[in-house]
């Protein structure tokens, strides 16, 4: 899936759309944690969810600084991200991780685009680069665990 999140023309809209994307991701993480059977997988996914919670906290802080509303939930994409996990759970843990890995592609792309967005402040770009590194780490682990 190709995302336009990260390419917004205004900084406030960029922050709002990243928050929506993060809330969608968190919903998928919650669903994944509920459906995984392997305790080690659950622990690692919980750790990654904490990264997303941290991203939401920072994006919400930025929204407050800008004086714009900080979305508190995802959008219709949440049904796609959690739906993949629900279908994968019928097959097993490794398939769930593969489904989650595909969700990470969009989040990585969004933060990559945001880190290069001319509407973003230097401080925000630095945060977006850190978030991109988090997403890259998540995807790499999911890919490796799903194959192992």
* Beta-carbon contacts of residue 43 (< 8 Å; ≥ 6 apart): none
**What's the domain count of the chain?**
1
Within a domain: 4: no
Q: Give residue 87's pLDDT.
A: 53
State pLDDT tens for residues 110-142: 999 999 999 999 999 999 999 999 999 999 999
* R_g of the chain computed on alpha carbons: 15
Neighbours of 67 (CB within 10 A): 7
Pick the closest to residue 104 from 134, 83, 69 (CA basis): 134
Within a domain: 106: yes
Within a domain: 5: no
DSSP assignment of 68-121: -----S--THHHHHHHHHHHHTTT-HHHHHHHHHHHHHHHHHHHHHHHT-TTS-
Within a domain: 27: yes
Q: What is the rounded CA–CA span in Å between residue 5 and residue 69? A: 17
Within a domain: 6: no
Within a domain: 62: yes
Within a domain: 1: no
Pick the closest to residue 85 from 41, 126, 53 (CA basis): 41
Q: Say yes or no to pLDDT of 78 above 50.
A: no
Residue range 7-12: mean pLDDT, rounded: 96
State pLDDT tens for residues 10-66: 999 999 999 999 998 999 899 899 889 999 999 999 999 999 999 999 999 999 999
Which residues span the domain enclosing 96?
11-147
Q: Give residue 69's pLDDT.
A: 92
Contact 21, 5 (CB under 8 A): yes
Within a domain: 17: yes
Q: Give residue 102's pLDDT.
A: 86
Q: How many CA atoms lie within 13 A of 138 on its CB side?
A: 29
Tell me, what CATH number does 33's domain have? 1.20.1260.10
């Amino acid at each position: 899936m190709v995302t336009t999140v990260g390419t917004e023309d205004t900084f406030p809209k960029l922050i709002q759309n990243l928050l929506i994307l993060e809330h969608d991701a968190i919903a998928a993480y919650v669903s994944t944690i509920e459906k995984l059977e392997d305790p080690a997988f659950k622990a690692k996914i919980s750790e990654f969810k904490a990264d997303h919670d941290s991203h939401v906290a920072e994006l919400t802080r930025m929204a407050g600084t800008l004086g714009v509303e900080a979305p508190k939930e995802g959008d219709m994409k949440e049904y796609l991200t959690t739906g993949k996990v629900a279908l994968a759970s019928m097959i097993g843990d490794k398939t769930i991780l593969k489904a989650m890995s595909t969700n990470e592609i969009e989040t990585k792309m969004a933060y990559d685009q945001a880190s290069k967005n001319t509407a973003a402040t230097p401080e925000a770009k630095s945060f977006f680069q850190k978030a991109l590194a988090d997403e890259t780490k998540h995807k790499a682990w999911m890919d490796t665990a799903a194959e192992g």
